[in-house]
Amino acid sequence: YDVWGDAVNLAARLESTGEPERVQLSPEARGALSSFVCEPRGEIDIKGLGPLETWFLLRRDAVAQTHAMPESGIAPHVSELR
């Protein structure tokens, strides 16, 4: 029985198959980080999971930054986003 679960195992596998000084993302992480620019790495073989499409995290998307939540915590009105 594994007390850590699949998320921790996947993170360890992504780190061990990654490149120095780069953050490698799973499809789920890539989907959650839609305000970031990512570089497709392609499919890699993850021990225990098989082939998995991965990406490298590059930077925050400049367009997403202009629509970010202001420090006040009050979301802008939709008309202000145009």
Does 2 have pLDDT greater than 70?
no
List the catalytic residue out of 13, 22, 30, 60: 13
- pLDDT bin (cut points 50, 70, 90) of residue 58 is very high
pLDDT at position 51 is 93
Of 6 and 79, the structure prediction assigns the larger pLDDT to 6
pTM: 0.67
Question: Any catalytic annotation for residue 13?
Answer: yes
List the catalytic residue out of 30, 41, 47, 60: 47
List the structure tokens of 73: 């915590």
Of 36 and 3, the structure prediction assigns the larger pLDDT to 36
Contact in structure between 52 and 60 (CB atoms under 8 Å): no
Share of the chain above pLDDT 90, in %: 40
CA atoms of 30 and 56, how far apart (whole Å): 9
